Chains A and B, each alone.
Chain A
Amino acid sequence: MDKSYLKFEQIGMSFRRGQMATEVLRDVNLTIDQGEFVSLIGHSGCGKSTLLNILGGLLTSTTGEVFLEGKVVDEPGPDRAIVFQNHSLLPWLTVYGNVAIAVDKVFGSSKTKAERHDWVMHNLELVQMAQAKDKRPHEVSGGMKQRVGIARALAMQPKVLLMDEPFGALDALTRAHLQDSVMEIHARLGNTVMMITHDVDEAVLLSDRVVMMTNGPSATIGEILKVPLARPRRRLELATDAEYARCRAAVLEFLYARHRVPARAA
C-alpha cells in the first residue's frame, strides 16, 4: 500500500436503465496530497459530479476503489463533508441550527455542549455569518446561504472538503467574494479540497492542480495542469500575471479546442 493521502484507483461507473447501460466514467486514476486544492473541470455530462459523489460515498463505483488514508471509501461520512451546489440548507432550521445539526451529530460524544456551541460559532465566524446566526435560510441572500453551507462542511473537520460547483448559482461579484473567503480559509486551515467547477478563472485562481476531464460517455481524466502560482493569490495582481494567463490559456485550449462538446455544439 502506498502512502498517498487520497487515491482514486481505476474508477469506472456505469448506470443501468433497463437494458441500456451507460458508461459514465472509465479508468479514472488520481492521487491527491494532503492539503492540496484540486479542481475538476469539464463540460456538462462528463461525470465530474459522479466522481465527486463516489468520493463522497453517495454513489458506489462500478469498478475500482477510492482510498482515503489507505482506507477504502464505501459510504458517506463527515470525514468527506460536501458543500452542495444549491447549498442544501434545511429551511426550518436557523443558520446556527443548520451548522449545529452536523456538529451535534459528529462531535456529540467527543465535545461538551458548551464546546459544541463554541465550535458552531467559530465556524460561522470563519465564513462571516456569526451575526446572522438566528436568521432562517430564506431570510439571507444566496451567497450567505452558500457561506453557511461551507461553514457546515468545515465544522465537520473533514479530511477532504468536497465542493460541487459551490459558486455556480451566484452572481459574479458574490462569487469573487466567496472565492476569496475560500482561499483565505484554505490558507488558514490547510484543508484538502476537491472542487468541481465550470469556471476556468475559478479553477486556476483557487487550485494547486486543475484536473481536466474528457467528454462523456466513458469520460476520464484528460490532462492535469499544475498551477505554480505563489500563495496568497490576489485576483487583481493575477489579472496581468503571465503565468496565470498561461494556465488559463491551457485550460481553455483543452476545453474548447480539443474537447469541445461534439453533438451539442449549439
Chain B
Amino acid sequence: MAVANKATAVAVTADMPVPDAPVRSAEIMPFRPPMRPMLERVGETARHLVQVILPPLIVLAITLFVWQLLCSEPGARLPPPSKVVADAWDFIVDPFYDNGGIDKGAFWQISKSLGRVAIGFSFAAVVGIALGVLIGQSTWAMRGLDPIFQVLRTVPPLAWLPLSLAGFRDSHPSALFVIFITSIWPIIINTSVGVRNIPQDYRNVAAVIRLSWWEVFYKITLPATVPYIFTGLRIGVGLSWLAIVAAEMLIGGVGIGFFIWDAWNSSRISDIIVALVYIGIVGFLLDKLIATVGHFVSHGVAAQ
C-alpha cells in the first residue's frame, strides 16, 4: 500500500479510511529558505553604511578642500577651515566655560536660545492646534479667520519685533513673542487641513456607535489629525529656530544669535563659522526630534 502511494507525501496505512473518490495528490515538498551566511549579512550592513554615510562625507571633504584652497592665499577675506579650527579652538573644545556676562561657552549660548524656543514654541503649539481645530470644525470660523491668517502669516518674523518691544517693554518676552508668532501659522493651517480631511467613513463609524461630541473629538478627530499636526509642528519648530537667531541679534544678551553678532563686532570670523555649524546641527536635531515624537504618537502613520 505504502509502495503504491509512493507519490504522496503521507504513507497511507491499512487502518486509515480510504476515500471513495480517486485519490489525486501531488507530492508536497517542504520549502526551507536557506539560511543566509553570517558574512553575507554583515556585508549587507556594510553596504548600507557605504551607501548612506559615505556620499555626504565625500561631499563634505571636497567642500572643505576647495574652501581651504580658495581661502589659503594671503589677503583672503574669509579664513580657511584650518584657520577656523585653530582660531576657534577654545570655543570648540570647551563649550561649558562661563566667564561672566555674555562671555559663555557654546553650550550655554545654545541652551539659552533653545530655552526661548521651547517656551515660545510650546505656546504656539497649544494655541495653534486649538485654533486649527476650530477653523477645521467650523465653516464660519474659517470664513472669518482664514483670510486674516493668510495675510498675517506672510509678515517676516523680525517685522514683529519692534511692535512686541513696544508692547512688552522688555526684550525677553518680545523674543518669545516673535517665536510664537512665527511658528504658529503652519501649525494652525496644517491642523485645520487635517481636521477637514478626516474621512467621512470615520465620522460614519462614530455616528453608528453614537459617540458623544467630546468622544468624537478625542477618539476620532485628534488621533486622525495627529499626522497633520506634526507636519505643522515640524515646519513651526524650523521657523522658530530661524527666528530666534535673528531676534537675538537685535535684543542682545546671552544666546547663539547675539553671540554671532558680537563675534562680528569683534572680528572673530572663525567663531561665527563654528556657531553657524552649531545652529545648523541643532536645527536638524530639532526637526528630527519632532518627527520622531510624531512617529510614535501617530503609531507610525506620520512620515518620519
Contact = CB atoms under 8 A, between A and B. Distances in A.
B172 interface: no
Interface in A211-264: none
Interface in A71-90: 76-78, 80-82, 84, 86, 88, 90
Looking at A57, A82, A156, the one whose CB has the most chain B CB atoms below 10 A away is A82
Interface residues of A, number: 22
Given A90-B223, A92-B223, A102 B209 contact: yes
B295 to A, nearest CB: 12
Give chain A's interface secondary structure class: loop
A87 to B, nearest CB: 9
A92 B202 contact: no
Contacts of B103: none
B205 interface: yes
A78 B219 contact: no
A78 B209 contact: yes
Nearest to B301: A91
Give chain B's interface secondary structure class: helix
B226 interface: yes
A42 B210 CA distance: 30
B204 interface: yes
A76 B203 CA distance: 11
Nearest to A90: B202
A90 B220 contact: yes
B210 A78 contact: yes
Contacts of A58: 204, 207-208
Nearest to B223: A92
A92 B205 contact: no
B207 A76 contact: yes
Contacts of A138: 300-301
A56 B223 CA distance: 25
A106 B209 CA distance: 7
Interface in B201-229: 201-202, 204-205, 207-211, 215, 219-220, 223-224, 226
Interface of B: 199, 201-202, 204-205, 207-211, 215, 219-220, 223-224, 226, 298-301
